[in-house]
Structures are given as structure tokens and as C-alpha cells.
Amino acid sequence: MSMLNTYIYQRDLSGNRVDLPVCYEVQSHSCQALGGNKAARITITSGNRFAIWDHIELLRCPVELYNDRGECVWWGIIYEVEIVENAISIGVSLESMSNDVAVLYSLIEAGTHSAGQRRITAHASNADSVAEYGYKELQLAGGGMTAVAADQLRDTHLAAVKYPIPVRGVQAGGRSSAKATLHCVGLWQLLAWRFYTNIATTSVITTSQIEAMITAYNQFFTGVDIETASGVAQSQQRDGDQTVLEEVRALLETGTTNDRRLLAEVTQSRRLRVYEEPASGVSDYWQLRDGSLRTQYDTELPQSACVAGVWARLKDVVPASVDIVKLANPAFAFIEEMEYFPVSGERRVRFRNQRDPFAFSSSDERERNKAIALGLINRSFSYMTLAAGESLTIPVGQQLIISSEYTIDGSLTVDGELIIL
Amino acid sequence: MSISNLQLTDGTTTVQLDSSGSVAFLGSYQGRSESTSYVPRATSLPENGDWSSIDLDDPRNALAESFVLTFKGGTTVAQGNLTTVKQLLAQAGRRRTNKAVPAVYAQFRARDTDAYSRSELLGGTVQESERTFGPLWANGVIEARISWIRRPYLEDAEVQLPLTNGNGTNNISGLTVWNHDDGDAGHDNYVEIAASAITGDLPAPIRYEFVPGAAYRYVHQLLIAHNVYGSPSTFTHMLEYTGSVDATASAANYRRTSIGTGYTEFGTTLFSEAQLAAMGGNYYRVIARFNALPPSGITAYFQFTGHGQTPVLYRSAPVEVSSTFPMQILGTAQFPPSTFPSFAARMMFLELYAKRPAGAANLDLDYVFLVPLDSYRLITVGKTSPVHEVADDMISDYRYSVKDVPEAVPDVTAIGASIMLVPNRLQRLYFLKPSTGANVNAIADTATVKVYYRPRRLSL
């Protein structure tokens, strides 16, 4: 077992610490090949009651996790805070917030009933929320309506969701002093906060497009480092229906002329680093028969750290007698994600083409996903409806739990798992 | 055997819980066969025998103890003392969520002539005996069972440690350290503590006072490292690089390299078998000092190579080199790697590489500091006004800096675990201010250091 130390900093990215008299315990942290640090879950095990409740105010504050050697093993932001005291739970999440809203609608001209041209309203934003958290954009699906109604829908929705909205729960019989859980995400996730539009039609190298996207819509990164040019050109025109994250991910997946993906990570100094997926070879890590991993130099992994975006080669498992002429060599597997649990010291690995073990999570995780899912549907789309023209994708490895009250008229793509209660 | 003297105290209020205080004695009234004596328990050894593998200050590792106490001296006196015990135990519980509340200690000594050892209480309860409200009360006696949880170790009185380096031997008046370490006499950035100076049977945290020299009162960050298992007296922790002369550089020399668009070697050091043996496979952080601020856009890494500088035994992940800070952490590694077994004729090279994709530029490497990580702590002082002292008390978990007025300001934060001195081993503490002003690291800065600790033991 190795313990990690949690350090929280002020939201303004000044680097000044937020030092509250509480004890943190890191439950898990994870990283992924596409994006670097993925998530971390931190519980507050004890401390001053007022200081515990102060964490409600720390959304989007940077977080760093250090091991006892003073190495930073994970960095990101606080995305969600849950506090439970006796029978009451309060949850607040950046997921529920949007401070820059536009409405997608089909125009109904005055005096007519027919929905015609697809339109989008001008964006409206709340300056205070933007100054505090940065832009978090939402494109709301409005169905068929007049331009005036669309503008009003935009303004009404913005007023409701410009700040994170607390969600209250009641656990009958609950009797505990204040406890809190911080759910953190990697900085990569912040690319999903803005939609990308480009009206230029010329073809540009995809890695140059990535650099341009980040530069144009940058809020939190200090720079972009393209270590490998893709060599692949495509049209740079984008109609603004996708977030920067979705656009960048698509270009990374397109890959390079070496037939390999591009990978990305956000460094501790908030630089986005884009590089070519390594080929299997001298940089491969080793996996032993007990499941443990060692570096390419056959040394231990850094204490409490996760690693992804590398190949892992079985060291002493597959007998030489196995005939692998007509299948991919089972001794080699690419690490897509890794999650580390400091309390137990366990590392959980997801290899490429492997079903996501994180989807089959604990009942606590399932309840959390359910709460978030309900909130997401309620706040990102109109009134528990996936309307015509709206789309939602459940990605591989993710779970969405909805009730039968939901109306799905739009496009629901299930790459992961959909559970209808 | 039972304790001769046992008292509860928060530094202001003290209750004697034995006959020496004439208000209570350990054990039941008139010799009833309850638990009649108290001896501090010792916590169990960890399975692997390594105390560093568990956190003794984690409340979940606290010890629970219970014993019977009899209060005498009349019901009023007995009740008053019992109330004081209850209040102190409640205070101990409150301190767990509010460090501003004074800590409460149980203090023990086996004989009247011994010094007290203490153990911090984390909470407790008092339960009066059923006999109390009958015959005992009539005799002015209250019998109660005390149950408490406390830290699983005892601490002796605080001791100042004699420190040694090129500027003094067994110094307790404040030993001078420099902000670099080269061959010049007295230019040492460490203090050495003799093996005999650390007693007890558990690693113990320290309290230190770092007082900058009058002309060097800028302290924004302070790095403290601890070497106990890496042969501190023979381990070379500073690697100097030469080629160009500058009196403001460590050893008055640095190495200038034109860094190209591809990775360029900018520093190489050969480790002998003696140095490799001294490092012993422990972990070290590699920190480079640059004689001038590095140009922007540089990425660097280090690697180990074997005989003839091939093959590569280890390579660190590339890091961006700051262009606004004169010192850069390049990474952490095991020196030598675990796959490099001990052998009389082995050698290992430390090689530094950097590249600048935007175009060639000069990089001036002054020295590399191999920072031992037996303990490691990076202090940040919140304000940049002149600092007269940095105090970091890892025993009581307080930190502050003393400013001009003078006033103590709690604006010091720390990254890293407590520095834990190991009994009966020679060890060194290293001090370094990475920044001595805006974008500057001056090697000529000095400071004086005092170090204190409380010997820790499992039991008396």
C-alpha cells in the first residue's frame, strides 16, 4: 500500500494552494492513451466540518497528487463534489453547468406551422460564470420554433444553468458526520467545453488542424507540442456541431502515414502533447505472470503511477510451443487505460480491444453514474426528452441508466451499455 | 510492573493520575480485582518489520487502552479531578478536527527520577464504576474506568541535534549551509547528524529552523532532502560541469552546449563502483541548475548507460525545461537500476539530453544535484517579503515564516512527507533554495540551520 498526498490549488491557476484542515485519501486515479490523466476519486476521511463543506466551492480547482518521494503522479481538476452529513447528501457538478448557450432549432416563420430551415441562435453567455470557470458551451436542441422563441429558450435555459446546480439526496436513517468525495478529471476533458467552427475549406495537415483548434479555443492550456506530423491532409471546414474534444479525437484516430494513431496527453504544466503511437519494440513494457508490470528497462513502475499508451509484452507466460503464425501475437498488447488504487496497491489495466472493466463498477459508482445521467438528461436536453435532431452517444466503456419516463425521438448511439429501469 | 507517574496534560492543565498527586491512584478501591495497573501498550510490528511502510500518525493505527482509576480526597476534589479528565479527553477528540486546539498528552515515567515520555491522546471516555454511587461516594472516593486511544508511540523530551559540515562540528548554535556544494572549503549545502545522536527505536520527525543570512532573506521555496540509506558520508550528491568560467557559478564553472533541433547531449558523468555502491539502488531526484535561464522550448531527459555508454539502462520521460526558472527537475530514478547488480568493475554513465525544435540555442549547465529521497520536502513560502526564518515543525505539524516586523505568519505550505530521522544511523539533511529572487538562483546565499527532534519509542 502506498499513500498519496492531495494538493488543491486556487481556480485562477495562480498556483496558490488551498490548504484546508481535512485529511484526504485517494481512492483511485487513472490515465488513458488518448488524453493522459483521466479521473481521480478522493475521499475526505476526517477534518473540520466547515472545511469539509468548503469543498463545495472548489469546482474546477486544480488538483495534484504526490507520492511520498515528492513526485506528482496525477493532475487534473475537481469536477464534482459530494457531501454527506447524516441523512442529507448534496452533490454539485460542473456537468450541470453551462454558461454559454445557443439553441439549435428548425425555423417556423411567423404565421406558419411548418418547421423549415435549420438555424442556430447567437450565443448568450453569463460573464460572471465565464470569468470564474471559463466558457462551458451548450448547444440546446429546440425543435421547431420561431426565432424569438428560440432566443427566449436560450436565455431561460442560461439563467437556470449558468452556475453548477446542487442536487440533494436523502438517505433515510443516515447518521454520519460530514464526509465528502471529490471526483476529479484530467485536463483533457476541458476540451469538451467548447464547440469548434471553421468556415475555411482548404485541406490542411491534421496535426496542424489540431494545433489550430487548441490555439483558437484555448482557455486553460499553456501550449501545444506536435511531436509527430501526421502527413495526412483533410478539409479543415467544421460546422460547429462537435466539441473541440470530439474534433481533436477524430483527427488523432485518423492517425499518421505510418498507419498508427496519434496519442495525446496534457502535461503537468498544461501543455498538450501530441505524438505518434509507439510501435512495439524496445520501448515495450513487461507484464509478468503475476500480472504486475515493469518498465522497458525491467524496473518497477514509478511509485503510485499509472501508464498508458505503451505496449506491454508478456515476459514469462506464453510458451514457445504456441503457434502464432496466423494470429496476432498474444504476447503483445497495447495499454489503453490504467487505474491505480493506492489503498490496495492494485493496478487495473485495460488493453486495446478489451471490454472496459471500469463499466462493471461498484454499486457506489453505479449510483453515481445514475445520478449524473439523470442530471445530464434533465439539463442538457429539454425535459427528459431526446428530441428529434438531438443526438447522444454512449461511448465504449460507459454506462447510462435511464428510467422509462424518457422519450427518445432523436438519435441514441449505444457503443457502451444502456440500462432502462 | 506499573507506572509510577502518570499524568494528563495539555501544557496548561495537568492532572496527576497516581498517588504522587494525592488525588488518584491506579487501580480499584480496596484492591478489588479489576485491572489494577497500567502499562503503556506497544503496537504490533508490521509484518515486514519495516516501520516506514505504515503511517504511525494515521489515527486508524492508534492504540486503544483501558484501565481503572480511583479518585480520592473527598467527593468534591475527586469529582473535580474526574471532570478535568473528561474535559481533557474531549479536548483531545476536538483537536482531531481542529489543530488550533492544544494537544493533550498522557505522560508516563517508570520511576520518579526518570524524565516523562509522552503520547498524544486522540480521544477517550470515562465510565464511573457502579460502586461509586454507593459505599465509595460515602468515603469520598470515585472509581472509574478510563478508556482512551493514543498515538502508538511514546516521545521523549525534545533534543537539539549537534550538526556537522565543513563550517562546524557538533554545532548547536546554528550551522551555516550554502546554496550550492562544490570543492571550496565550507561550501556545503548539507548538515550531518551522527549515528549516536539519534536514540529511540522508531523513526522520528524533526523540527528545523532555517535562518537566511542577512543579505539573503528572499525565500520563496526551500527544498529539504534526507539521506540515511545511501551512504551519506561517501555519496557525491553534486555533479559539477565545466568548460566555461563564471565566478557566479558553482565551482566557478559551467558547461555551455548548443542544443539542436534533435536531442543533443549536454552533460555526462561517469559513476564509479564506489559511487554506485554508495547510492545503493535508492531513489534520487535529478535537479539541474543552469547558469543562465534556459531558452524557451527546450525538452530534456536523462538516461543511464553502461560500459562504453551503451546500452541504455534507463531513460527518463522528457520534460519541458522552464525558461523562467533557473533550476529544473529532470526526473526521479533508481540509482543504479535494480537490474544492474553489484560487480567490482561495473560503471554507469549519467547522460543528459535536450532538444529545441524551434532552433539551436545555448544551454548552460552548472551542476546536477542528485537529491536523496529517504525523505523529501519542498516548502513554499507564501509571500516574498524578507524572511527572517522559516520554521517547519513536523513534530507538531506547524509551519510558519518570520517576517520583518518580526511576526510569525502561517504562510508556509509543504509538499512531501515528514523528514524522519532513523535511530543509530549517520544521516544528512540537504537544503537548497531553488529560487533566490526573480528568476535567479544565487549560489552565494547562506543560512544557518538548527534541527530538533523527539526520540520515539514503542514503549518504555
> And the C-alpha cell for A9?
490549488
In angstroms, the Cα distances linking A68 to A2, A196, A387, B53, B414 are 8, 41, 51, 11, 12
Task: Specify whether the CB–CB gap between B428 and B181 falls below 8 A.
Answer: no
Cβ separation A70–B376 shorter than 8 A: yes
Residue of chain B minimizing CA distance to A3: B55
Pick the closest to residue A217 from A303, A101, A126, A135 (CA basis).
Answer: A135
Q: Is A21 on the interface with B (CB under 8 A)?
A: yes
Q: How far apart are CA B52 and CA B60, in angstroms?
A: 16
Task: Specify whether the CB–CB gap between B154 and B183 falls below 8 A.
Answer: no
In angstroms, the separation between the Cα of residue A222 and the nearest Cα of chain B is: 12
Task: Specify whether the CB–CB gap between B39 and B63 falls below 8 A.
Answer: no
Residues of B in contact with A19 (CB under 8 A): 413
Taking only the tens of pLDDT, chain B with its 460 residues reads 344 588 899 999 998 887 665 556 655 554 443 444 677 777 766 666 666 667 777 777 788 888 888 888 888 888 888 899 999 999 999 998 888 899 999 998 877 788 889 999 999 999 988 777 777 777 778 888 889 999 999 999 999 999 999 999 999 999 999 999 998 889 999 999 999 999 998 999 999 999 999 888 888 889 999 999 989 999 999 999 999 999 889 999 999 999 999 999 999 999 988 899 899 888 999 999 999 999 999 999 999 998 888 888 889 988 999 998 889 999 999 998 877 777 766 889 999 999 998 999 999 999 999 999 999 999 988 876 788 899 999 998 889 998 877 788 888 888 888 999 999 999 999 999 988 777 788 899 999 999 999 999 987 7
Instruction: Render pLDDT for A190-200 as a digit per residue (tens, 0 to 9).
Output: 999 999 999 99
Instruction: Render pLDDT for A84-104 as a digit per residue (tens, 0 to 9).
Output: 998 899 999 999 899 999 999
In angstroms, the Cα distances linking B280 to A299, A360, B48, B193, B235 are 15, 43, 20, 20, 10
Q: Kindly calculate the radius of gyration of chain B based on its CA atoms and give it in whole angstroms.
A: 28
> And the C-alpha cell for B9?
496534560
Burial of B145-170, coded b for 16+ CB within 10 Å and e otherwise, reads bbebbbbbbbbbeeeebbbbbbbbee
Report the pLDDT value the prediction gives residue A321, as an integer from 0 to 100: 64
Prior bond of B311 cis (ω within 30°) = yes
Q: Kindly calculate the radius of gyration of chain A based on its CA atoms and give it in whole angstroms.
A: 23
Cβ separation A297–B339 shorter than 8 A: yes
Residue of chain B minimizing CA distance to A46: B97
In A7-119, which ranges are continuous DSSP H helix? 49-54
Instruction: Tell me which DSSP letter residue A156 carries.
Output: H
Prior bond of A302 cis (ω within 30°) = no
The three-class DSSP label of residue B216 is coil
Cβ separation B97–A49 shorter than 8 A: yes
Distance of CA A394 to the CA centre of its chain: 13
In angstroms, the Cα distances linking A363 to A359, B55, B63 are 11, 30, 33
Q: Is A117 on the interface with B (CB under 8 A)?
A: no
- What average pLDDT does this structure show over A290-300? 85
Cβ separation A69–B378 shorter than 8 A: no
> And the C-alpha cell for B179?
546554496
Lowest mean pLDDT across A73-82, A235-244, B14-23, B147-156: B14-23
The residues that bridge with B319 in the sheet, in sequence order, are B300
Report the pLDDT value the prediction gives residue B346, as an integer from 0 to 100: 81
Cβ separation B373–A70 shorter than 8 A: yes
Cβ separation B97–A47 shorter than 8 A: yes
Q: Is B409 on the interface with A (CB under 8 A)?
A: no
Q: CB-based burial of residue B292 (10 Å sphere; 0-12 exposed, 13-18 middle, 19+ buried)? A: middle
Q: CB-based burial of residue A319 (10 Å sphere; 0-12 exposed, 13-18 middle, 19+ buried)? A: exposed
Question: What percent of chain A has a predicted confidence (pLDDT) above 90?
Answer: 53
Task: Specify whether the CB–CB gap between A25 and A42 falls below 8 A.
Answer: yes
Q: Is A17 on the interface with B (CB under 8 A)?
A: yes
Residue of chain A minimizing CA distance to B355: A227
Lowest mean pLDDT across A211-215, A343-347, B169-173, B174-178: A343-347
Q: Sheet of B427-432: strands edge to edge?
A: B168-171, B163-165, B190-193, B427-432, B221-227, B375-381, B412-415
Cβ separation B334–A302 shorter than 8 A: no
Which of B99, B320, B330, B384 should we substitute to test contact with A (largest number of A Cβ atoms within 10 Å)?
A: B320
Confidence band for A371, pLDDT divided at 50, 70 and 90: very low
Q: What is the mean pLDDT of chain A?
A: 84
Residues of B in contact with A1 (CB under 8 A): 53
Report the Cα–Cα distance between both ends of chain B, in Å, rounded: 12
Pick A267's closest partner by Cβ from B320, B376, B377.
B320
Higher pLDDT, A271 or A298: A271
How many CB contacts within 8 angstroms connect chain A with chain B? 62
Q: CB-based burial of residue B102 (10 Å sphere; 0-12 exposed, 13-18 middle, 19+ buried)? A: middle
Q: Is A316 on the interface with B (CB under 8 A)?
A: no
Confidence band for A325, pLDDT divided at 50, 70 and 90: low
Task: Specify whether the CB–CB gap between B400 and B408 falls below 8 A.
Answer: yes
Cβ separation B313–A5 shorter than 8 A: no
The three-class DSSP label of residue A74 is strand
Cβ separation B417–A5 shorter than 8 A: yes
Pick A48's closest partner by Cβ from B98, B283, B380.
B98
The yes-or-no verdict on residue A411 having pLDDT over 80 is no
In angstroms, the separation between the Cα of residue B285 and the nearest Cα of chain A is: 9
Q: How far apart are CA A146 and CA A134, in angstroms?
A: 30
The yes-or-no verdict on residue A223 having pLDDT over 60 is yes
Other C-beta atoms lying within 10 Å of the C-beta of residue A256:
18
Q: How far apart are CA B195 and CA A378, in angstroms?
A: 66
Residue of chain A minimizing CA distance to B59: A46
CA dihedral A198, A199, A202, A206 (to 10 degrees): 10
Report the pLDDT value the prediction gives residue A366, as an integer from 0 to 100: 46
Q: What is the mean pLDDT of chain B?
A: 87
Please list, in sequence order, all residues whose beta carbon lies within 8 angstroms of the beta carbon of residue A43, skipping any fewer than 6 positions away.
A24, A25, A27, A179, A180, A181, A182
The yes-or-no verdict on residue A180 having pLDDT over 70 is yes
Report the pLDDT value the prediction gives residue A320, as an integer from 0 to 100: 61
Q: How far apart are CA A190 and CA A356, in angstroms?
A: 23
Amino acid present at B354: A
Report the pLDDT value the prediction gives residue A360, as an integer from 0 to 100: 40
Cβ separation A17–B380 shorter than 8 A: yes
Confidence band for A277, pLDDT divided at 50, 70 and 90: very high
Q: What is the pTM of this model?
A: 0.82
- What average pLDDT does this structure show over A333-340? 93
Q: How far apart are CA B117 and CA B204, in angstroms?
A: 14
Prior bond of B337 cis (ω within 30°) = no
Confidence band for A384, pLDDT divided at 50, 70 and 90: very low
Report the pLDDT value the prediction gives residue B97, as an integer from 0 to 100: 80
Higher pLDDT, A59 or A295: A59
Other C-beta atoms lying within 10 Å of the C-beta of residue A15:
9
The yes-or-no verdict on residue A385 having pLDDT over 60 is no
The yes-or-no verdict on residue A83 having pLDDT over 50 is yes
Cβ separation B98–A21 shorter than 8 A: yes
- What average pLDDT does this structure show over A410-415? 74
Other C-beta atoms lying within 10 Å of the C-beta of residue B346:
16
Report the Cα–Cα distance between both ends of chain A, in Å, rounded: 38
The three-class DSSP label of residue A77 is strand
Residue of chain A minimizing CA distance to B314: A297
Instruction: Tell me which DSSP letter residue A277 carries.
Output: P
Other C-beta atoms lying within 10 Å of the C-beta of residue B49:
7
In angstroms, the Cα distances linking B199 to A157, B43, B207, B455 are 67, 19, 16, 6
At A395, give phi and psi (nearest 5°).
Answer: -75, 165
Q: CB-based burial of residue B293 (10 Å sphere; 0-12 exposed, 13-18 middle, 19+ buried)? A: middle
CA dihedral A30, A36, A42, A47 (to 10 degrees): 150
Confidence band for A370, pLDDT divided at 50, 70 and 90: very low
Report the pLDDT value the prediction gives residue B62, as an integer from 0 to 100: 86
Phi-psi sector, A399: left (phi>0), alpha (psi -120 to 50), beta: beta
Q: Where are the beta strands (DSSP E) in B228-291?
A: 238-240, 244-245, 253-259, 264-271, 282-290
Task: Specify whether the CB–CB gap between B314 and B302 falls below 8 A.
Answer: no
Residue of chain B minimizing CA distance to A282: B312
Residue position matching grid coordinates 522528457: B318
Pick the closest to residue A37 from A351, A269, A266 (CA basis).
Answer: A266
In angstroms, the separation between the Cα of residue A275 and the nearest Cα of chain B is: 13
Report the pLDDT value the prediction gives residue B84, as an integer from 0 to 100: 93
Report the pLDDT value the prediction gives residue B59, as an integer from 0 to 100: 74
The three-class DSSP label of residue B149 is strand
Q: How far apart are CA B29 and CA B141, in angstroms?
A: 8
